[in-house]
Amino acid sequence: MRKRDLSVSKAILIFLAGVFIDKTLEVFFNTSDVQLAANQNNSIVLKDSQQNTIPSTIGMTDSHNLSINPEVNLENGKTYTLTIPAGSLMNGGGNTNTAQTITFTTIKSAANKTVISGGSTSQITGTIR
């Protein structure tokens, strides 16, 4: 049986116009039953444009949504990069994710959550105004 890579869902590429400075980020995957691979929650990293790691709580909010909750507010108008290394997530069938690099620019808050999703590419960028 051929394994399928997990990838960020194609449904919401239009989102990447910005991320609110004080909210949880969510990344949707293209299949259900996704979980953090063993000992991989520390491999998913959020960094600022100077490559400083932003302390964050990483977890799954349901069977296909990865949640990244920064422990501090992000700075307005700044660029950040979320890196999800290959193999850091898997589903019940043993399929693992491809590497994903998501770059975004923050905006002032107006909602409870910001959703990150996109095509099957390994790099997604954008700014919401």
The full set of domain ranges for the chain reads: 13-124
Residue 51: the pLDDT is 97
Euclidean distance between the first and final Cα of the chain, in Å? 45
Token pair for residue 26? 């969510």
Q: Please name every residue paired with 101 in a beta bridge, in sequence order, or none if there are none.
A: 83, 123
Residue 55: the pLDDT is 95
Token pair for residue 52? 């400083």
CATH for the 13-124 domain, from 2.60.40.1220, 2.40.110.20, 3.30.2010.20, 1.25.10.10: 2.60.40.1220
Say which range, 5-9, 31-35, 37-41, has the weakest mean pLDDT.
Answer: 5-9
Distance (Å) of CA 40 to CA 28, 79, 87, 120, 128: 18, 24, 8, 21, 30
Write the burial class of residue 72 (CB in 10 Å: 0-12 exposed, 13-18 middle, 19+ buried): exposed
The confidence band for 60, taking pLDDT boundaries of 50, 70 and 90, is confident
Residue 47: the pLDDT is 95
Q: What is the pTM of this model?
A: 0.70
